[in-house]
Structure 1
Amino acid sequence: MSDAQYYGEPRPYAFVPLTEPEYFDGVLGRRFVAFLIDAVLICAPIGAAAVFIFVFGFLTFGFGWFLFSLLSPGFVIWALAYTGLTLGGPRSATLGMRAMGIEMRQSYGAPMYTLLAVLSVVLFWVSMSVLTPLVVVVGLFNARKRLLHDLILGTVVTNTKERAAGLRRYRR
């Protein structure tokens, strides 16, 4: 797929599994590993803050422990900011997704934007809490490997253009 097709005018579906299978090869497994990387990147600063508050509480004779009440809202704000800034950024991928060579796009090929990225992560967590296995199982039964929240929002996770080109060369 040329850059003009990749970033050009909107089409109904920019990524067609029958003609461009390299964009979907191994995406579900890579998406899972990317999720684990991102979970560590989101939880590590919150864990560090919890340790700091714990020690600070001793230094302030217990008064610092009231800061623990800020951890939950801080976690939500940090997770949404991380997603909005990375997934909603120009590369349309979180740091974990970049490490795994995948990206999220709108179904017609346009890059993600901040609000759609935040909606994607919120809808993912809401759907996971309500329909836990169904969210992931849906990805096994469609050619674009889209999960439930991807179908609702009109997004698709694919291999990056560079990775897809490498897979294309490997198949020949």
Structure 2
Amino acid sequence: MTTSAPLQTADARPVAYEPLSDPRLYEGVLSRRVLAFCVDFAVVLTLTAAASVVIFFLGIVTLGLAWLLYGGVFPAMAILYSGATLGGDRAATWGMRLTGLTCRLQDGTRPGFMIAAAHVVFLYVSITFLTPFVLLVGLFTQRKQLLHDLVLSTLFVDRGRLEGRGV
């Protein structure tokens, strides 16, 4: 006695709808990302200033030893801010929330803390070593991804349209 498996043809593939493939999700994303970056940069500078005051007083207590932390205070604040906000439940920094953007991975899930922290590190490294002209990559990619987005497989989309509120 033999059992046979059901026959499957090439046309019997399940067709899945990928919501992140809709081109309307990416309309106006690049210009809003620039504005979001400016807002986020101001927030990180404010956090850096606050942390610098704390480091100053710690330096007095530690006879200047804590002042060695000044060199890493901006990168630390940027990583913590991006990791906490971009890696959080809303998957957006404060600037992105203001401009109506959200981040998703290629499979549609939200990024975690590590991906969000790596995202800000790759952003600053790519801009520093490859000049800001590296941002022009976004003009030539279908989903308006920048170089660091391509490396990390992240997508930035219109939050309203993703949630079904867009026109």
Paired residue total: 150
Root-mean-square deviation (CA), in Å? 2.7
2:20 maps to 15
> Which entry has the higher C-alpha Rg, 1 or 2?
2
Q: What whole-Å deviation, never above 9, does each CA across 1:95-143 have from its counterpart, x for those lacking one?
A: 1111110011101211111111111111111111121244211100112
Mapping 1:121-140, distance limit 5 Å: 121-140=120-139
Mapping 1:6-155, distance limit 5 Å: 14-16=19-21, 20-50=22-52, 67-155=66-154
For 1:163 and 1:136, locate their aligned partners in 2 and report how far apart those are by CA, in whole Å.
Answer: 24
Segments of structure 1 that go 5 or more residues without pairing to the other structure are 1-10
Residue type at the aligned position of 1:80: I
Residue type at the aligned position of 1:15: L
For 1:114 and 1:53, locate their aligned partners in 2 and report how far apart those are by CA, in whole Å.
Answer: 25
Identity %: 37
Residue type at the aligned position of 1:45: L
TM-score by length of 2: 0.76
For 1:65 and 1:12, locate their aligned partners in 2 and report how far apart those are by CA, in whole Å.
Answer: 59
Distance 1:64-1:100 versus aligned 2 partners, 3 A rule = farther
For 2:41 and 2:50, locate their aligned partners in 1 and report how far apart those are by CA, in whole Å.
Answer: 14
Distance 1:100-1:53 versus aligned 2 partners, 3 A rule = same
For 1:14 and 1:134, locate their aligned partners in 2 and report how far apart those are by CA, in whole Å.
Answer: 30
Distance 1:125-1:21 versus aligned 2 partners, 3 A rule = same
TM-score by length of 1: 0.74
User: Could you tell me whether the CA contact under 8 Å between 2:85 and 2:93 is conserved in 1?
Assistant: yes
Name the structure, 1 or 2, with higher relative contact order (CA <8 Å, separation 6+): 1
User: Could you tell me whether the CA contact under 8 Å between 2:127 and 2:134 is conserved in 1?
Assistant: yes
User: Could you tell me whether the CA contact under 8 Å between 2:52 and 2:73 is conserved in 1?
Assistant: no
> What SS does the corresponding residue of 1:104 show, helix, strand or coil?
strand
